[in-house]
Amino acid sequence: MTDSNAAVSMRNITKNFGKGGYANDHVSLDIYKGEILSLLGENGSGKTTLMNMLSGIYYPDSGEIYIGSKQVSINSPKDAYDLGIGMVHQHFKLVDVLSAAENIVLGLSGKLDMKNARETIQKICDRYGFDVDLDKKIYNMSVSEKQTVEIVKVLYRGADILILDEPTAVLTPQETKKLFEVMRNMKDDGKALVIITHKLDEVMEISDRVAILRRGEFIGTLITKNTDPQEMTDMMVGHRVELNIERPEPLDPKPRLKISGLNITNEEGLQKIRDVDLSINSGEILGIAGISGCGQKELLEAIAGLQKVDSGSIIYIDDDGTEKELVGMDPVKIKNLGVSLSFVPEDRLGMGLVGNMDLSDNMMLRSFREGSGVFTDRKEPHKRAEKIVKQLHVDTPGIETPVRRLSGGNIQKILVGRELYQRPKVLMTAYVVRGLDINSSYTIYDLIVFQKLAGTAVIFVGEDLDVLLQISDRVAVLCDGHINGVLDGRKATKSEVGLLMTSLKEGTRDGE
């Protein structure tokens, strides 16, 4: 049954979390040495679950796993490491207060000899081209540095089968390029690599073979060079999906928000926004590009009235031309003007939704101020929730299900759906499709474009530059709190934006 050349063979793997439907249903997969395999699938298609069973986080309900030709049982992450399997998780498994080196040696046995360990780690770094400061504490590191530590950690344990769960989701294009270089080095060294992703261009660029999962079922494998994104998407989704984002010309754009001379210092005393001047028009999508943590969050929160501002002004211009200063205004009043912030942070439940409450109660979080009397109106939010579930194809057992139990993608749909339901004048979204599969992503892009056509001024913060450049009319590039340039979304190229994201140089070229 098994292919004797394969490094790992999974046969008829089934896993059920008992919430209706299988996370994995009789999946069979082979992984080879000296090859990069992409594992492709929508949210909740069971990619991560499948790989978690290889890395010992979960245990399959049934099915066999073979390493070489020997059947094995992987009960814990330790078993996986002993078999040479290492996984870099999407949410990094690092201890913040420990140094890189301490994190790398974590979990091994024997006497603690940091000097010796450090030499070995350095050798691994030199061999594959990693660049990491071993004494740096994790909490001082950028995402890309953390990821490097994760990969080195796995290699230090002698893994020759590496699984990377959405490694590029948090990287800039330049960092992604570097990661891919390292991955190719590892592949040339005879390691087997699996990359979980739903970015099709990356699949095309890095992998030799693609395995596709859909709703826990194994659909098939393709040789990357013989396929194209359209074929992969169709297999992934099960029906045809248009991979284009419509970008109609802005209808009658009028200035909606005018930001001038904005400066923000955060709680830790770091200046997050420096002298930002920016205007946002109605009926237009303004994309904001920048590596994570360079001030996007602060900028959006300042507009929503949630962030204290050092100096500068944010003027809101109504349809009839009346101007209102938003700085210093109460967040509730700002919201009533129609300025909506749908901030989707990494922790989706952390902001905006309450995990233990059901769908309609979460709708009420937005609407509870409406209406009169002491008692809340529960019918209206219930209807709203039903409408969103239907329109956005939210996969939920019912309106009464606590939001916490839904998958990340579905939670996000509810969050976005609720904001859009308010018919905002200004819509701010950040990382709105983070972690969403291709089908849901495009549904949400369509919704945003629909809002733009309705005359909403949209601020779109995103990390996928391809999408950002496809959807935005204008792109403002933030770097370390400074607007490094505002480009025309129709003309700007990815490398242009990428360069502005990382260089502190003044490169203003207004796209208006």
Residues forming the site for other proteins (CB under 8 A): 17, 55, 57-58, 76-78, 81, 87, 89, 93-98, 102, 105-112, 137, 139, 153, 268
Looking at residue 226, the DSSP 8-state letter turns out to be: G
Select from 297, 336, 296, 298 the least CA-distant residue to 316.
336
Torsion angle (degrees, nearest 10) of CA 3, 5, 11, 17: -160
Q: Is the dihedral of CA 88, 92, 94, 99 positive or negative?
A: positive
Output 54 or 486, the one with its CB closest to other proteins.
54
- Residues pairing with 372 in the sheet: none
Angle at 476 between CA 474 and CA 477, to 5 degrees: 140
* Three-class DSSP category at 41: strand
Q: Cβ 425 to other proteins, closest distance in Å?
A: 37
Q: Cβ 407 to other proteins, closest distance in Å?
A: 9
Q: Cβ 96 to other proteins, closest distance in Å?
A: 7
Spatial separation of the C-alpha atoms in residues 194 and 209, rounded to whole Å: 10
Output 98 or 329, the one with its CB closest to other proteins.
98
Output 243 or 354, the one with its CB closest to other proteins.
354
Q: Cβ 97 to other proteins, closest distance in Å?
A: 6
Output 117 or 204, the one with its CB closest to other proteins.
117
Under 8 Å between Cβ of 355 and 404: yes
Output 58 or 343, the one with its CB closest to other proteins.
58
Nearby residues of 301 by Cβ (< 8 Å), 6 or more positions away: 307, 341, 343
Output 56 or 295, the one with its CB closest to other proteins.
56
Output 87 or 465, the one with its CB closest to other proteins.
87
Q: Cβ 369 to other proteins, closest distance in Å?
A: 33
Cα of 312 vs its chain's centroid, Å: 31
Nearby residues of 117 by Cβ (< 8 Å), 6 or more positions away: 101, 104, 105, 156
Under 8 Å between Cβ of 328 and 306: no
Q: Cβ 512 to other proteins, closest distance in Å?
A: 42
Nearby residues of 239 by Cβ (< 8 Å), 6 or more positions away: none
Output 83 or 206, the one with its CB closest to other proteins.
83
Q: Cβ 76 to other proteins, closest distance in Å?
A: 6
Q: Cβ 349 to other proteins, closest distance in Å?
A: 12
Cα of 419 vs its chain's centroid, Å: 19
Q: Cβ 93 to other proteins, closest distance in Å?
A: 4
Spatial separation of the C-alpha atoms in residues 414 and 392, rounded to whole Å: 8
255-279: b or e for each residue (b if 16 or more CB lie within 10 Å)?
Answer: bbbebeebbbbbeeeeebbbebebb
Output 88 or 192, the one with its CB closest to other proteins.
88
Under 8 Å between Cβ of 401 and 385: no
Q: Cβ 146 to other proteins, closest distance in Å?
A: 12
Output 139 or 450, the one with its CB closest to other proteins.
139
Select from 15, 461, 419, 391 the least CA-distant residue to 217.
15
What would the two tokens of residue 374 be? Answer: 């002491």
Under 8 Å between Cβ of 352 and 366: no
Q: Cβ 17 to other proteins, closest distance in Å?
A: 7
Q: Rounded to the nearest 10 degrees, what angle do helices 114-128 and 143-156 cross at? A: 110
Output 80 or 478, the one with its CB closest to other proteins.
80
Q: Cβ 287 to other proteins, closest distance in Å?
A: 32
Q: Rounded to the nearest 10 degrees, what angle do helices 408-421 and 359-367 cross at? A: 30
* DSSP string for residues in 84-148: TEEEE-SS----TTSBHHHHHHTT--S---HHHHHHHHHHHHHHHT----TTSBGGGS-HHHHHH
Q: Cβ 158 to other proteins, closest distance in Å?
A: 13
Output 5 or 76, the one with its CB closest to other proteins.
76
Output 107 or 371, the one with its CB closest to other proteins.
107
Beta pairing, strands 285-289 & 339-343: unpaired
